[in-house]
Structure 1
Amino acid sequence: MIPAAFDYRRPESVDEAVTALADGGEEAKVLAGGQSLLPMLRLRLAFPELLVDVGRIDELRGVHEEADTLVIGAMTTHHDVLADPLVRRHAGLLAAATETVADPAVRNRGTLGGSLAHADPAADLPAVVLALDGELVAAGPRGRRTIAARDFFTDYLQSALGPDELLVEVRLPKSGDWGFRYEKFHRTAQAWAAVGVAVLVRSDGGRIAEARIGLTNMGPTPLRAAAAEAALAGAEGPEEVARAAEAAAEGTSPSTDLWGSSEYREHMARVLTRRAVLAAAGPS
């Protein structure tokens, strides 16, 4: 199917992009890697009057450190995230999850910021950034503001970004001394996750001192498994971890679709949480 007609602008700076978005208002859409937006345009599930292509804005790409924080430009591709030594050293969970995103063709075009701004609860990376206690920086006509990941995803395919705001960078606290694991269940290779679990574990003396758990596709937004996180504090050994993981689906509202019922997804969340926590915690 052919997309509906739209105007096209290709700014070369963040300020130019923000101006274009402000001019377009509610009828403008940002084009990053295009891996989600372009199929929606072709199917006419989205029909913006203005497309703002940010592909030429070099300042939106790259990874660097700022003290205890890893800063990743919103237009950094999944491929470049995977290849960056700083990401592997300080945000191993992000690297592990990015490696499972779709296929090499998508990873070469798709971007971290695009995935987060699209706010699809079935995507891998929103739950990962949530588990990492990340922050997202948006630029708009009134300047820049920082949004905690826990406040960024507001509903299905909706975020806290205003129509005149552009996601410019993702800020992640360094987590190099935490164990991590991303577990994902999908029925076919390269498919969306039926359920995914992103886990960080900080151990102390053989016990779990703290755990952070992000859930993929367990509701209209990515979620933290708060009850399981609390239950895991002080846990030691597979039996205690398994008991704590039973709380992983509390507070979730997964859908029923061709990939599984809501009850099945709740079961998988518990199973994958147990597996991921044990792997992240290492040998007991």
Structure 2
Amino acid sequence: MATATIGNSEFDRDTAVTRRAPGVYDADLSAGWTIIQAVNGGYLLALMGRALGDALPHPDPMSVTAHYLTASVPGPASIRTEVVRTGRTMSTGTATLVQTAEDGTEVERLRVIAAYGDLGALPDDVRTTAKPPAIPPYEHCLGADSAPGDRPAIPGSTAIADRLDLRLDPATAGWAVGAPSGKGDMRAWFGLADGRAPDPLSLLLTVDALPPTAFDLGLSGWVPTVELTTHIRRRPAPGPLRVAIVTRNLSGGFLEEDAEVWDSDDHLVAQSRQLARAPQGDE
């Protein structure tokens, strides 16, 4: 089977938007990117990023902050964008995503503010103490088709799992067999199942596509995102990505997730911080 390409992939088709009027876009939220019944927050962020990329004069998302107001559901949606400011190297815009409820009322699902620029025009100077996560080779990591010993495979019961090529570091996958580490870590190799190469837009999905770190803390259930801020640092090289996510503090029923995404050339290409509600139950 031919590998999908940027612009011709399931991800691109499912994040497509149609301009209805200046600043107003129609979209169809695909059921293929759901977790339980809710549409994945990273997929929604990429959808909003595509609309803002059309509305703003600069090509690449650099900083995107989203507040998730209500759970989105598969089906028609509208995105309304506003250009806040345009400059020589960066532009800023806002976007809201709304859906129509069964009683005909309009429900706002998501509100975003974003800064766009040209990642290809950034200087090459890098000064960092950050290092790529230590993850075993891809073939030694665990996917939905894997099983440690004679135990069940890592659960892949959500629709989004079929769209992803996700291989978890066994050290952070104990939760899948009832043995979470309690550290709040999640590490994995990441790609899209159809082979589409990563780009700045798909990185908005990547930061929110792994199982939640709450699972590694021994909790189970839905972990709804309250707020997610993503920084895209550079255009990723082709090839699989490595993602590391950690939670250091759970209190008051909320937890944070700090994510780093590294490309095949060992470049840090995206970072994010998310505030989420902790699951109500545990196991």
Q: Does TM, scored on the shorter chain, surpass 0.5?
A: no
TM-score normalised according to structure 2 size:
0.25
Higher percent of residues as helix: 1
More strand by share: 2
TM-score, length-normalised on structure 1? 0.25
